[in-house]
Amino acid sequence: PIAQTYLRVKSLGLSVGMIREIAFALLLLLSLSVDATAISLNRAGITALSDGLVKVTLGLESGRTTGPCPSAGSWRWGSEQVCPEQRISSLEVRYQRQAVFIPYSAFADLGNPSSVAIERGSSGGTYSIKIVGGEAATSYVVVLKFKGGLLLEKVVRHGEFPASAWEKTLYKFNVMQ
């Protein structure tokens, strides 16, 4: 079957190098969508994970700019006075296949993320998305807490001083049901 597929693709007039690039891209895409509750983030692109009830899709992109970083002083988590090497460009959450509203501010200041995980809560319908990022003095752990299809809070704690350096954001949405 592989030889037949190769001959079909070759008949399209693509070079061997182009075929290899397409194959590599397909393998990369297949490796980024995982049915798991935790995954490491080590390159730009789209990463998806699911535990069956909750699905998280996270986009990463390069945070570096060619010139001076205009927002260097605004990074609090994962970078210090410079633009991070990577930043979260999108975060989508689905609960029971329904989209959950996530404001951009819930992830916009998280630089250099290294892992993301889904953690189920002890009471029905509660769950958290945990993102770890940065290194040493810029390290952080953020926990986004949900109940069903609603984001309730974001808690970011410094990796080295979690009890004394943290921020908490509460979300109260008027949802018409």
pTM listed for this prediction: 0.72
Predicted local distance difference test score (pLDDT) of residue 144: 97
In percent, how much of the chain has pLDDT > 90?
A: 38
Q: What does the pLDDT look like over 86-98, one tens digit per residue?
A: 888 899 999 999 9
Predicted local distance difference test score (pLDDT) of residue 145: 97
Predicted local distance difference test score (pLDDT) of residue 46: 79
Please list the ranges in the chain whose pLDDT falls under 50.
Answer: 1, 24-36
Predicted local distance difference test score (pLDDT) of residue 95: 95
Predicted local distance difference test score (pLDDT) of residue 136: 85
List phi, psi (to 5°) of 80: -135, 110
Distance CA 36, CA 14 (A): 35
List phi, psi (to 5°) of 101: -70, 125
Predicted local distance difference test score (pLDDT) of residue 17: 60
Instruction: List Cα–Cα distances, 157 to 10, 138, 171, in angstroms.
Output: 53, 11, 18
Beta strands at 33-34 and 45-50: parallel, antiparallel or unpaired: parallel
The answer to whether 107 and 88 have CB atoms below 8 angstroms apart is yes
Predicted local distance difference test score (pLDDT) of residue 26: 46
